[in-house]
């Protein structure tokens, strides 16, 4: 049997078989309002490769709906689908399909602080309506994910200080790292600990095992999707976060401005940068106790 005819501009539904019945109910609602959808039981022919078909389903999609659950988080195929959608910069909608389930690990990192829908229990009707409305307004949205670029060589012991940064601030962060290590604190910085392979799960593990995250922010950090997910996941996991201005006269806006909010930050471009570093180290030690 040939694979199904190629369709473009559809909404792809990514889900685990553990919650298939609920996803099928959602699919009926999508079809009722005329949304073009792609779901594996309708679009993968008996003679086609599942991986190839799923790749096409994501590649040709205008958006992907991730129906998440414990089964979804545990499924290697679901993770491949989610990461592929992420790398292709697809607009992604996240829908909880297991009551009271809060994802962690790679899936918690992936979702971060993104808008999420909950179609469990008696919330189904109202949340499906809200989801459909936002999918119809897709052209007005800008959800632009990007692939991650970090994977640890080996799992570090818990309790290190994770140094989060992006772009041209690397030299500044390296200097700060040397001072922090000289004070007897263990650190993690991606220039020393990264491999070429990328994995959301590995970056999530880095945040999970960190005692504290220091965000060295600037314009490049603000624009980096990987940096945003790292910082937002640290907040979701309630990790202590210290913010350090690493670009002169830079004032954050958008998601970064919201994240920093009224938090105290350290400015390395004050007259006495060394004193700022010492104050930062003292604050790290205070937060770790």
* Span 232-247, pLDDT tens digits: 888 888 899 999 999 9
- Provide the residue count of the chain: 289
**Is the Cβ–Cβ distance between 277 and 214 less than 8 Å?**
no
Strands laid side by side in the 265-267 sheet: 187-188, 160-164, 210-217, 241-245, 265-267
* Span 196-206, pLDDT tens digits: 334 566 677 78
* Span 254-285, pLDDT tens digits: 889 988 887 889 998 876 778 899 999 999 99
As a whole number of angstroms, the distance between CA 69 and CA 15 comes to 8
Partners of residue 13 on adjacent β-strands: 65
Please, which pLDDT band fits residue 147 given cuts at 50, 70 and 90? very low
**Is the Cβ–Cβ distance between 109 and 204 less than 8 Å?**
yes
**Is the Cβ–Cβ distance between 107 and 73 less than 8 Å?**
yes
DSSP-based three-state secondary structure for 86: helix
């Amino acid at each position: 049997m040939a694979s199904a005819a190629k369709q473009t501009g559809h909404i792809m539904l990514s889900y685990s078989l553990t919650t298939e019945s609920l996803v099928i109910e959602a699919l009926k609602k999508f079809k009722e309002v005329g949304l073009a959808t792609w779901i594996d039981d309708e679009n993968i022919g008996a003679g086609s490769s599942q991986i190839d078909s799923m790749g096409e389903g994501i590649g040709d999609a205008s958006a992907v709906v991730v129906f998440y659950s414990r089964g979804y988080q545990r499924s290697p195929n679901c993770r491949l689908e989610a990461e592929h959608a992420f790398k292709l910069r697809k607009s992604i909608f996240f829908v909880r399909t297991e009551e009271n389930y809060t994802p962690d690990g790679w899936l918690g990192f992936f979702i971060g602080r993104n808008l999420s829908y909950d179609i469990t229990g008696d919330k189904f009707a109202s949340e499906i309506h809200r989801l459909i409305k936002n999918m119809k307004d897709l052209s007005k949205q800008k959800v632009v994910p990007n692939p991650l670029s970090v994977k640890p060589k080996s799992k570090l012991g818990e309790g290190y200080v994770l140094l989060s940064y992006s772009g041209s601030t690397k030299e500044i962060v390296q200097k700060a790292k040397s001072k922090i290590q000289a004070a007897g604190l263990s650190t993690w910085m991606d220039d020393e600990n990264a491999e070429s392979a990328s994995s959301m799960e590995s970056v999530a593990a880095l945040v999970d095992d960190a005692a504290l995250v220091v965000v060295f922010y600037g314009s490049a950090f603000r624009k980096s999707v990987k940096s945003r997910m790292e910082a937002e996941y640290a907040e979701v996991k309630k990790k202590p976060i210290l913010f350090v201005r690493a670009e002169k006269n830079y004032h954050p806006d958008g998601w970064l401005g919201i994240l920093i909010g009224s938090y105290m930050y350290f400015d390395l471009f004050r007259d006495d940068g060394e004193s700022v570093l010492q104050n930062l180290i003292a604050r790290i030690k205070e937060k770790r106790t």
